[in-house]
A and B are shown apart, each in its own frame.
Chain A
Amino acid sequence: MSLETLRPSPAFKDVLPIEYKDLVEHGPYTNRTDPSKQSVKVTDMGKFKEVIEEHPMCAGCAMTLFIRLVYIGMPNPEHTIVVGTAGCGRLAISQASVPFVYGNYGDTNAVASGLKRGLEVRFPNQKKDVVVMAGDGGLIDIGFQGMMHSWFRKEKFTTIMLDNEVYGNTGGQESGMTNQGKVLKMAPRGKFDKKIDALGLAKVAEVDYVARLAPTNPARVARTVRRAIMVAREVGHSYIQAYTSCNIEYSIPTPDVMKDAFAIEKERYGFEEIISPRAQEYLNEIEKKPKKKKTD
């Protein structure tokens, strides 16, 4: 929804909530000519009205930074619906100015499948982006079946895994994405098995756009999110796996959270994109456009 869809009578415009007016006039809800382009820039952070501003997350939480960047990267936040499940992430996500479906445990990708198809039926002329944003436990453990099947069905929405490698919200139990040997609650002798290769699963399921990253480069996060959502809008499914450390359960000193992100990125969480040929073809097309205009 934007002022494009909903046109308030000029007489009523000034009684609209200030937050909403700011989002339209000084934020990402701004009307735009190119529906694949975000109207705000990461480098301008702090200078525009953001989709998410207040949140109850822990001080220094890397996940919060990542979630902020996801909202900035959304090509059309005014036509986006986010689906989540229990976990830390939803504490921030539910505060955003984008509708948030807070479903049952691990039902995100099933709900998103129905939601996306429903929106396609109801709004044949207005693309609505659906984004699942949930934790590693919510997706790889309890939501595993729904996630895998939505990938196999190539449902046209984006899955974003906030991978803090632990159940943060329930108090620090090991998850499928925890590294082998790590001592956490419910893993008193260290986790027995390996971190699940979710990226490998996405490859097997032939997800059209797969990306792994850490929130070390804000512009890259925003660009990756935009690419993932655009591929989901037009081609097939997309999956982003982001390292969003838990400074509480992993005892990372607050000032060192970004230092940890850089270190883990270098060690085992380097930026990686796996793009199907048809997704690549599409991305080439939408990303070349501005260059063409310049040369014309």
Chain B
Amino acid sequence: MANVKGSSVCRTATDEGKPADWIPGSDKQTVVDPMEMFHKLPREKLFITGSEAARECMRRANIDIAIAYPITPQSESMQQAGYLYDEGYIKEYYRGEEEIGTFSAISGASRAGVRALTATSGPGLMRGMEAISSWPGARTPIIMLNMCRVINTPLAIQPDNIEMSFMLNTGILLLHAENQQDFYDYPLAAIMASEQVDVTLPAVVSTDGFFVTHARGPVEVTPEEFKLPPRDGWRSAVPAMDNENPPARVSRDAPIQKSNFISYHMHASWQQEVFAAVERSAQYFRKYLGGLIEVVNPGAEDLIIASGSAVSQAREAVRQEGEQGRTVGLIKIKTIRPFPTKEILEAVKGAKRILIPEFNQAGWLHKEICSVLYGRCDAVIKDGPRVFGGMTMPTEMVMEALADFRKEVK
């Protein structure tokens, strides 16, 4: 076959330009059962940034393709993905033209039946939103890392997780990592959950930019000689677009947009199935993450419910309250979608006051909690403290809010 020389683009062989005896990093790794990786393998403690935690996660995630467009504070992680590609841990990699192109390309890659990873931050997420919101309906398992950043004008690069609220009703699996450790663990779990046949959905792991990505924290990692099982393109709720599936007419992306009742019903049932699949993913996250929530001091009258960085602030507030002899409970929500309704209802029993601190202006978590607890819990639910635009949330702020709350609700 005449393979014309000089065809150096569209590389799929990562060994191009490498010495003859070079072995891709991925080939030196052994596939291990996900449950073994998540719960049994010995772990080494490192002190690394969130971006480096993402790199160590990608190294073990058996990624086929990574495509991304740089944006602060995501760039650090995706250039690390570039190094992993160079080392042979990722098979294909390129910088996309911008986010619409990137997120479209990553959906193309997923349609081919391979494991695809991308990452973005605030404004990039908003730019690519049309593509992102089409992923679940196309039933494309994709893993996206999302380093949250201010999206509002005036432009800022500080952390603020309002962008997560735009993904709540898309049918995407949405996780919120508290710290560097979570940013290592959650994407691995999300990949395995998203590729289950009865799920077949994209997953986004969000974390608060800078606070996590650009700061060091303790991360316990599994040995780098073990990796997750590869994506099996044949195991999927819908066939991959690889022209390997009979019968002949397999247009998965049929234009169901003609104005008639059959098309309306088809579209409605398709959406119902997407959101049912989100709920079905909960069983896998329970297994992989050891639960959709973490509860500290169960049964306490004062309860903080939080996700992401706010959990760290709440954790410290709970500790300091404890030093002063007051027991405050904490629910950390790991998965925003699927939303842990059942678990939260169980964990709020006994609570009189529920405080929900957040790193965004809209208070989307407060709204989510209210919609779940309305009429099903006697506690008073209060939003705050709420910081945004890159503001910080000192522990004292949480403790003051608790003190005020105790005065308001006896």
**A91 interfacial contact with B, CB 8 Å:** yes
- Interchain CB contact under 8 A, A110 and B248: no
A/B pair count, beta carbons within 8 Å: 189
Contacts of B130 in A (CB 8 A): 104-105
Stretch of A39-47, A152-160, A187-195, A218-226 contacting B (4+ beta carbons < 8 Å): A152-160
Q: Which of A57-65, A112-120, A244-252, A254-262 lies at the interface?
A: A112-120
Rank and list the top 9 A-B pairs by shortest CB-CB distance, nearest first. A118-B112, A114-B108, A114-B105, A115-B108, A114-B109, A110-B104, A107-B104, A111-B108, A102-B253
Shortest CB-to-CB span from B259 to chain A, Å, is 13
Interface pair A20/B110, CB less than 8 Å apart: no
Q: Which residues of the other chain, B, contact A119 by a CB distance below 8 angstroms?
A: 112, 242
User: Which residues of chain B come closer than 8 Å to A23, judged between CB atoms?
Assistant: 248
Minimum CB–CB distance for B113 against chain A, Å = 5
Identify the closest chain A residue to B5 (Cβ).
A278
Decide if B9 is an interface residue (CB 8 Å cutoff).
yes
Q: Which residues of chain A (92-129) have a CB below 8 Å from chain B?
A: 94-105, 107, 110-124, 128
Contacts of A81 in B (CB 8 A): 241-243
CB neighbours of A104 from chain B (8 A): 104, 130-131, 134
Interface residues of A (CB under 8 A from B): 1, 5-6, 16-17, 19-20, 23, 78-81, 83, 90-91, 94-105, 107, 110-124, 128, 145-146, 149, 153-156, 234-236, 278-279, 281-282, 285-286
A123: chain B residues within 8 A (beta carbon): 242
Residues of B within 8 A of A20 (CB): 246-248
> Is the beta-carbon distance between A118 and B247 smaller than 8 angstroms?
no
**With the chains together, A20 CA to B245 CA distance in Å?**
11
Among the listed B97, B114, B134, B255, which residue makes an inter-chain contact with A149, where contact means beta carbons less than 8 Å apart?
Answer: B97
Known: A101-B253, A111-B108, A146-B97. A120 touches B248 (CB 8 A): no
B73-128 interface (Cβ within 8 A of A): 91-92, 94, 96-98, 100-102, 104-114, 116
A94 to B379, CA, bound (A): 54
Is B283 interfacial (CB 8 A cutoff)?
no
A105 to B101 alpha-carbon distance, docked (Å)? 11
User: A9 → chain B, closest Cβ, in Å?
Assistant: 13
Contact A107 B246 (CB under 8 A): no
B7 in the interface, Cβ–Cβ < 8 Å? yes
* Distance A100 CA – B255 CA, assembled complex (angstroms): 10
Enumerate chain A residues within 8 angstroms of B105, measured Cβ to Cβ. Answer: 110-111, 113-114
Of A101, A111, A123, A235, the most chain B CB neighbours within 10 A belong to: A111
Check B9 against A117 for contact (C-beta < 8 Å): no
- Interfacial residues of chain B within 225-254, with CB under 8 A of chain A in the complex: 233, 241-254
A145 close to B98 (CB less than 8 A): yes
List chain B residues, Cβ under 8 A from A80. 243
CA of A128 to CA of B96, assembled, Å: 22
A98 and B102 alpha carbons, distance in the complex (Å): 25
Is A16 touching B246 in the complex (CB atoms < 8 A)? yes
Q: Kindly name the residue among A105, A113, A123, A279 whose own CB sees the greatest number of chain B CB atoms within 10 A.
A: A113
Q: Quick check: is B325 within 8 A (CB to CB) of the other chain?
A: no
The listed residue with most A CB atoms (<10 A of its CB), out of B65, B98, B249, is B249
Question: Bound complex: CA of A259 vs CA of B217, how far in Å?
Answer: 73
Known: A102-B255, A121-B92. A19 touches B247 (CB 8 A): yes
Cβ–Cβ contact A234 & B241, under 8 A: no
Q: How far is the CA of A236 from the CA of B9 in the complex (A)?
A: 8
Contact check, A117 vs B109: say whether CB atoms are below 8 A apart: yes
Q: Contact: A94 with B9, CB < 8 Å?
A: no
User: If A103-B253, A114-B65, A114-B109 touch, does A122 touch B241 (CB 8 Å cutoff)?
Assistant: no
Known contacts A20-B247, A103-B108; can you find 8 more A-B pairs with CB under 8 A? A1-B243, A95-B249, A97-B248, A97-B249, A113-B108, A114-B67, A154-B7, A235-B7
**23 A–B contacts from the bound complex (CB under 8 Å):** A23-B248, A80-B243, A94-B254, A98-B243, A99-B250, A114-B109, A114-B111, A114-B112, A114-B116, A118-B109, A118-B116, A121-B64, A121-B114, A122-B242, A123-B242, A128-B243, A145-B101, A146-B100, A154-B9, A156-B9, A279-B4, A281-B2, A285-B2
Min distance, Cβ B256 to any Cβ of chain A, angstroms: 9
Closest chain-A Cβ to B230's Cβ sits at a distance in Å of 10
Residues of A within 8 A of B233 (CB): 122
Q: Does B10 contact A (CB under 8 A)?
A: yes
Chain B residue contacts of A115, Cβ below 8 A: 108-109, 111-112, 241
CB distance from A263 to the nearest CB of B (A): 32
Query: Which residues of chain B have C-beta atoms less than 8 A from A155's C-beta?
Result: 9-10
Contact B251 A102 (CB under 8 A): yes
A257 to chain B, nearest CB (A): 24
In angstroms, Cα B96 to Cα A124, docked, is 23
Instruction: Indicate whether B12 reaches chain A with its CB closer than 8 angstroms.
Output: yes
Taken together as a complex, chains A and B put the C-alpha atoms of A212 and B154 apart, in Å, by 47
One digit per residue, 1 when the CB lies within 8 angstroms of any chain A CB and 0 when it does not, for chain B 310-352 equals 0000000000000000000000000000000000000000000
